[in-house]
Amino acid sequence: MERPLKSAIAAYLGLIGSLLLTGTASAGDWQWGCMGPIGDRQILFSRYTLIVAPAKPPLGKLEDLFRIADLSEKFPDAEAYNADQTNDGLQKTMTYTSQDSPNSTLTLTEKSSKEISHEHHLVCGRDEDNSAERKTYHVERSNAAPVDVSLQCREYLLTTRGGRPCISN
Distance separating alpha carbons of residues 111 and 105, to the nearest angstrom: 19
In this prediction, residue 24 carries a pLDDT of: 45
Q: What is the pLDDT of residue 29?
A: 86
Q: Where are the domains of the chain?
A: 25-158
Q: pLDDT value at position 4?
A: 54
The DSSP line for 12-68 is: HHHHHHHHHHH------EEEEEEEEEETTEEEEE-SSEEEEEESSS----HHHHTT-
Q: What pLDDT score does 3 carry?
A: 57
From residue 166, alpha-carbon distances to 20, 27, 30 in Å are 15, 14, 20
Residues of the chain with pLDDT under 50: 1, 5, 7-25
Residue 125: the pLDDT is 81
Predicted TM-score of the model (pTM): 0.77
DSSP bridge partners of 50: 45, 81
